[in-house]
Structure 1
């Protein structure tokens, strides 16, 4: 028998004494840990020094966390600072309540990786290619934090895998919604495996595998974003341009940029230090 619906968790926070244990934060920690573990294995498989990825990961995670929150606050500034704000300005710092923009996380996280690579004297291209699958798998895990928070779900649906959302989180009685967190999680898992396969069979040096990650992720994010009904850029409705949401336009720009990068670097020689693509 097919599922009639996908239930949402009744709570996303548990208490160990007076200490809150938040599912959203746990998903982020597990995602980061798995991504680092996989990237370290891939780095060593291609001849890299043990511990390099671990050293690079700390600034990458910190910068990525800051960047992800900045992107969210900048895009949804009206939620915290506008005349119709529904949250207090200081709540913009409450990362545990949800709200991390992947675009900002990858962009500023990339700055952290670049700085760490410069400090260690490691070429950025091979590192970027090494961590690309780990980022995809990490995103697949992190998306389950949205499930616990009952946020970023899609439009109503009658499909048998519709998601239940309670009224406290904007759901309507008897209505099911597209589980966009699940769609993106599955897409990211498939993307992670595709990147590993591409790294073994194709010439993906000098950051080209990372560019494939960007192209693959944005392609999926474009159509998944189109299903969502959360008010990105506004308070009670999403800001759109020519019928597309902000994150869809971001996906288009980054997808095009990734394709341009892949095209212009198609005849580059491999990095001399690490020739094998893991």
Structure 2
């Protein structure tokens, strides 16, 4: 493919004057499959029926808004000059770190109001969150964004990836690193790891912390290949800084919670137990 034609139309289909973009459709698909995975596990852990359905109704809109705000803030030099583009999320520009910040804050408040353990909810949700991220990255592929630096076609062929991906990484006659693919595969591997760790009676909260560390470690290196990184002071890649902070923070929190006796409960301890057993109690039961 030597030309610059897009291998995919970013519009999936149209209903009258409404155009449905592949970007949004892929993200929605990822969220739906993540919900199915999480909801299945929630039943085994004795969490209330429809808990995650209720949480998603609140968390998904907030995650989208916070993901966009995060992206816009770090690209304010552009959006201040093009304010009409701020709401154009169908063209891309949703930052995962922004979505996570909004989702975690929402989940903490939601859990507190329901009288449930945030850490238990987070542990159950962790594989689903990563699954949604793994699928969502393919929206970047369709939009031909979030790619890395220039490479040769022979390099891409050496990766033994499908032809349609190679063609999709030809943008205006130049081939680029498929960083969306690297991150997607890393995330899928993380999902497999977390599903395996479900068999291990891990301390409460540490399943979620493992997710944070795993994703952040991969993103730290993959971000270094990208050409569209959000920057801090024009020097530091924002995602790399956030990834380092999250890794250190997660490890420190694991140590702190263990020392303070806040992680005495374990992941499998209450399998199929009533949700009432998760009501807030003494410090040791958190």
Per the TM superposition, whether the score is higher than 0.5 is: yes
**Judging changes above 3 Å, is the alpha-carbon distance between structure 1 residues 197 and 149 closer, same or farther for their aligned structure 2 residues?**
same
Distance of 2:113 and 2:49 partners within structure 1:
16
**Judging changes above 3 Å, is the alpha-carbon distance between structure 1 residues 141 and 166 closer, same or farther for their aligned structure 2 residues?**
closer
Counterpart position of 1:42: 41
User: Would you say 1:137 and 2:131 are equivalent positions?
Assistant: yes
Match of 2:7 among 6, 9, 33: 9
Find the residue that maps to 1:150 and give its secondary structure. Answer: coil
**Judging changes above 3 Å, is the alpha-carbon distance between structure 1 residues 260 and 69 closer, same or farther for their aligned structure 2 residues?**
same
User: Would you say 1:98 and 2:92 are equivalent positions?
Assistant: yes
Q: Which moved more, 1:60-69 or 1:114-123?
A: 114-123
Counterpart position of 1:263: 255
User: Would you say 1:249 and 2:248 are equivalent positions?
Assistant: no
Distance of 1:112 and 1:231 partners within structure 2:
26
Counting only pairs closer than 5 Å after superposition, residues 184-223 of structure 1 correspond to structure 2 as: 184-205=183-204, 207-223=205-221
Mapped contact 1:184–1:220 kept (Cα < 8 A): yes
Counterpart position of 1:151: 145
Deviation, structure 1 residue 21 = 1.1
TM score, norm. by length of structure 1? 0.84
Q: How much is the aligned-residue C-alpha RMSD, in angstroms?
A: 2.6
Counterpart position of 1:117: 111
Q: Which moved more, 1:8-17 or 1:221-230?
A: 8-17
Corresponding residue pairs, total: 256
Deviation, structure 1 residue 9 = 3.3
Distance of 1:272 and 1:132 partners within structure 2:
12
Please, which runs of 5 or more residues in structure 1 have no aligned partner?
A: 1-6
Mapped contact 2:203–2:267 kept (Cα < 8 A): no
TM score, norm. by length of structure 2? 0.82
**Judging changes above 3 Å, is the alpha-carbon distance between structure 1 residues 126 and 272 closer, same or farther for their aligned structure 2 residues?**
same
Distance of 1:163 and 1:72 partners within structure 2:
27
Find the residue that maps to 1:21 and give its secondary structure. Answer: strand
Find the residue that maps to 1:200 and give its secondary structure. Answer: coil
Counterpart position of 1:3: none
Counterpart position of 1:4: none
Distance of 1:272 and 1:145 partners within structure 2:
33
**Judging changes above 3 Å, is the alpha-carbon distance between structure 1 residues 166 and 210 closer, same or farther for their aligned structure 2 residues?**
closer
Counterpart position of 2:71: 72
Distance of 1:144 and 1:274 partners within structure 2:
37
Counterpart position of 1:240: 235
**Judging changes above 3 Å, is the alpha-carbon distance between structure 1 residues 69 and 272 closer, same or farther for their aligned structure 2 residues?**
closer
Per-residue CA shift, 1:188-240, capped at 9, x if unaligned? 111011112123214131x2211111100000001110110115249xxx932
**Judging changes above 3 Å, is the alpha-carbon distance between structure 1 residues 17 and 191 closer, same or farther for their aligned structure 2 residues?**
same
Mapped contact 1:63–1:111 kept (Cα < 8 A): no
